[in-house]
Chains A and B, each alone.
Chain A
Amino acid sequence: MEHIRAPNSLELGPGMKDRHPITHHPSPITPPSHHPVTPSPAVAMRGISKRFGSVVANDRVDFEASWGEVHALVGENGAGKSTLMSILAGLYRPDSGEVEIDGAPARLRSPRDAIARGIGMVYQHFMLVEPFTVTENVVLGEQRSGVDLELGRVERELAGLSEKYGLGIDPRARIWQLSVGEQQRVEILRLLYLGARILVFDEPTAVLTPQEARSLLQTLRGMAAQGFSVVFISHKLDEVLEVADRISVLRRGEIVATTRPAETDRRTLARLMVGRELAEVVEQPASEPHEPVAQGDAVLEVRGLYALGEKGLPALRGIDLDVRTGETLGIAGVAGNGQRELAETVTGLRSVTDGSLRIDGKELTNRPAAEIARAGVAHIPEDRLATGLIGGMDLSENAILRGYARPPLCSGPFLASKAVASFTDRLIADHDVKTPGRWAKLRTLSGGNQQKLLLGRELAGEPRLIVAVHPTRGVDVGATEAIHQALRDQRARGAAILLISEDLDELLALSDRIVVLFDGRVMGAMPASGADPEEIGLLMAGIGNRESEVGTRV
């Protein structure tokens, strides 16, 4: 298996070019069909299991990728795709199972081991130093001794590789001057330079504009044609069907199917991804039909809402929705389709570029977060420790984050310590937060108890509207049930609830209606009772009669 050797520190020295596996060893680049006997697959992962605490991320997964193919790995969020590929890239070690690279067993204990076996991974978040040039960034990743960085030689080599594989990267460019798509190609270039021949991409098009995405997909095809093995993780079934030779579907940690684009279609893939379990869920006791609550006037009215995402690209493109008193509106969708931005605009944390936002009939578009909160909006944010809580402060300081500026928690410029203490103790008791006391630092609590405190705080003011984003993510079963019950009680009290979740079970169990977001637009809407999870799954994957849905208010 000489040809899979990649440069490592022992092999470095003069004459690097000769030992570059891509330029020097054409054999693996030969398509498998040219081999007289069945060739070894580029990657063979057998019986891979990995659990994180009580969560099984991968359950005896078998996965193979061949030389010269583009192999797509699809599945819902949390299906275990990233875990599986992180194992291949040496980031995680599997609990059991083995990995073979080109027919030989491989022990991948670190990313360095992986790159030494020719495996390179391009992450969603690039690991590049912005003020440095492309060449300097590449040299950073190299393990070598000696003082001379040989930047000139590396630069020439990179220029050659860029030319050969049509990447169009100038090795002398500085990273900050490059677009996101170009930075991604720098990552590819770096992996090629390091000798990678198995390229793994984690949702590579998620960060790209449509044009950049198309160009990347062409690059991937080109790499496969040159004999590389390309594995990519994606949610987007269109691009998977367009570019992949084979498609493996992961669901709940297991590979449920491996198929070819010619033998399948979007509908079948989506059905495989969402799976049959969801249908059973509807009958679970947790989703007992709500006692109907008299629904009143619209509390939240969103009209033609546009907003930009972190990258400055449009993340919301004309959302219309209403949430009425006593109603829970569930927002379904694959991560990154505008849910986060929707929650942030409604709570005043992100500015609206077009459209309007009313709460109880009051125009609150682009008003400060404090004013929106005063209008009766509670917010259970996506990432509680990053946004909604302060880990280094104690429970009482966390409990008063919403109400510290109003009596009874303050009097004049001073905090009313007695009122603060009794308020905190009441939250702890009412919401069954397990803690040694209100003086404990928040970060010493478990995730479930942190969330119960946050929920209690947000619900304390009897809000008119509750924006709850992944309220039970990373929370144990007991706390999940408590949080669900609290949301049901709020609904019964007459609050309007906007519930954003990636957990379809949760959405079906708590919502009156479900709206599916895709690509910043409303893909479809339906009553939750009797909703077909399969149909929701298809809408989440962007398949549906969008034309008939766009513009209809939901």
Chain B
Amino acid sequence: MSSRSAISPSRRLRIERVPSPSRSATAVVSALSFVLALLCGGIILFLAGENPIQIYGSMFSGALGDWNGVAETLVKTTPLLLAGLGVAVAFRMQLWNIGAEGQLYLGAIFATGVALFLIPGAPGWVMVPIIVVASLLGGGLWGLIPGALRAWFGASEIITSLMLNYVAILFSEYLVHGPWRDPQAFGFPGTPSLPASAWLPNWGATRVHLGLFFGLIAALVLWVMLRRTRWGYEIGVMGENPRAALYAGMPTKRTIVLVMALSGALAGLAGMSEVAGIGHQLQRNLSPGYGYAAIIVAWLARLHPLGAVLVAFLLAALTVGGDQIQMSLGLPAAIAPMLQGTILFFLLGGDVLTRYRITRVPGT
């Protein structure tokens, strides 16, 4: 019985949910979306008087054409992956944490503060674990606040986590302009350089650092946790059917707080890895929006931790490729984001098509 069609029989087309999208359909649609995006972007480039083939070629070779490009892509993969995992685990429980950006900043602030002021003289094998824990605590605290507000007061975590982003970013601005500013930087906003013991080791001569390893470990641990543990099962049930969780006597409120804290902790780790792995100081504009891109990573990965590895890598490649054409071909600055936007638009649109289908309703 389709009561929906009975209510609006005059509508000809209807979008309905596909019960369970098949894997092959998902793969085909994703590939097709990507091709369509390239075509569409190509048309725009052509109209703008550019050579699409040259531009695409340059993007590809910039991001994946040589080891340097791959390394740069892996550098960008790291924060996207960590923050994306954090978002994914919250989304699994239908907790819409869009505060990864702020949680990332808090992780960076905690790690920087500990390394600069608490234990500046510690050796690397003490320093690195401690700043990792500090960043987990910082990000976790920033995730815990909206989680607790949601659990006990029913406040929408969408709003609170978003607003806390501004608090975190502005707080970091205050620190780098004010009390934590490097006195020897001639007024440049930024903290002094971290002690070398806090620098994450690099892979050979590249900028790829230990943070990537953290990300891969985190993906693996989350995958096992969600699939194989009681806690992961509870998160799944609460996400799919909160009433069934109640029926089974699961501790819903506690889990909301813990999952939000875990989500924030992973984003905080991303912040630490940017500070200790790349900049070696806390500076302005630490993140160009990794925390928001993380939402796209989580969504395109269908909230799957291992999927997030792949998606974060592709999104990073898109970013690096975009930077590349801007620099090497001297294209207008708007071209790269336009292409990135087109590709994301088609991928997300295609994703909707695998989850829903459009059917014709017979009748009037």
Contacts A391-B241, A393-B236, A393-B240 given; does A110 touch B230 at CB 8 Å? no
Q: Counting CB contacts under 8 A, is A389 at the interface?
A: yes
Chain A nearest CB, measured from B259 CB (Å): 15
Residue of A nearest to B237 (CB): A390
Size bracket of the A interface: 35 or more
- List of A residues within 8 angstroms of B243 by Cβ: 386-387
Chain A nearest CB, measured from B7 CB (Å): 7
- List of A residues within 8 angstroms of B329 by Cβ: none
Question: CB-defined interface of B205-235 with A at 8 Å, one 1/0 digit per residue?
Answer: 0000000000000000000000011110100
Contact B247 A444 (CB under 8 A): no
Contacts A390-B241, A397-B233, A443-B19 given; does A417 touch B228 at CB 8 Å? yes
Contacts A92-B6, A390-B241, A393-B240 given; does A404 touch B230 at CB 8 Å? yes
Q: Name the interface residues of A270-314: CB closer than 8 Å to any CB of B.
A: none
Chain A nearest CB, measured from B228 CB (Å): 5
Q: Counting CB contacts under 8 A, is B10 at the interface?
A: yes
Q: Counting CB contacts under 8 A, is B184 at the interface?
A: no
Number of A-B contacts defined by CB within 8 Å: 82
Q: Name the interface residues of B223-263: CB closer than 8 Å to any CB of A.
A: 228-231, 233, 236-237, 240-241, 243-244, 246-250
Q: Counting CB contacts under 8 A, is B8 at the interface?
A: yes
Give CA–CA (A110, B248) in the complex, Å.
41
Contact among A110, A386, A387 with B10 in the assembled complex (CB-CB below 8 Å): A110
Contact B244 A388 (CB under 8 A): yes
Contact B9 A393 (CB under 8 A): no
Chain B nearest CB, measured from A414 CB (Å): 5
Contact A389 B249 (CB under 8 A): no
Contact B244 A387 (CB under 8 A): yes
Q: Counting CB contacts under 8 A, is B1 at the interface?
A: yes
Contact B240 A392 (CB under 8 A): yes
Contact A414 B244 (CB under 8 A): no
Residue of B nearest to A111 (CB): B7
Q: Counting CB contacts under 8 A, is B285 at the interface?
A: no
Contact B247 A52 (CB under 8 A): no
Chain A nearest CB, measured from B55 CB (Å): 42
Contact B19 A110 (CB under 8 A): no
- List of A residues within 8 angstroms of B247 by Cβ: 347, 349, 369, 379, 381, 387-388, 401
Q: Counting CB contacts under 8 A, is A109 at the interface?
A: yes
Residue of B nearest to A112 (CB): B10
- List of B residues within 8 angstroms of A369 by Cβ: 246-249
Contact B230 A413 (CB under 8 A): yes
Q: Counting CB contacts under 8 A, is A370 at the interface?
A: yes
Question: CB-defined interface of A361-375 with B at 8 Å, one 1/0 digit per residue?
Answer: 000000011110100
Q: Known contacts A386-B243, A390-B241, A415-B228; can you find 12 more A-B pairs with CB under 8 A? A: A91-B6, A111-B7, A112-B10, A349-B247, A370-B250, A373-B248, A379-B247, A387-B243, A413-B230, A414-B230, A441-B20, A444-B20
Q: B residues bordering A, Cβ < 8 Å?
A: 1, 3, 6-10, 19-20, 228-231, 233, 236-237, 240-241, 243-244, 246-250, 364
A-B residue pairs in contact (CB < 8 Å), sample of 25: A53-B1, A91-B3, A91-B6, A109-B364, A110-B10, A349-B247, A371-B249, A373-B248, A373-B249, A386-B241, A387-B243, A388-B244, A390-B241, A391-B240, A393-B236, A397-B236, A401-B237, A401-B244, A401-B247, A402-B248, A410-B230, A413-B230, A413-B231, A414-B228, A415-B229
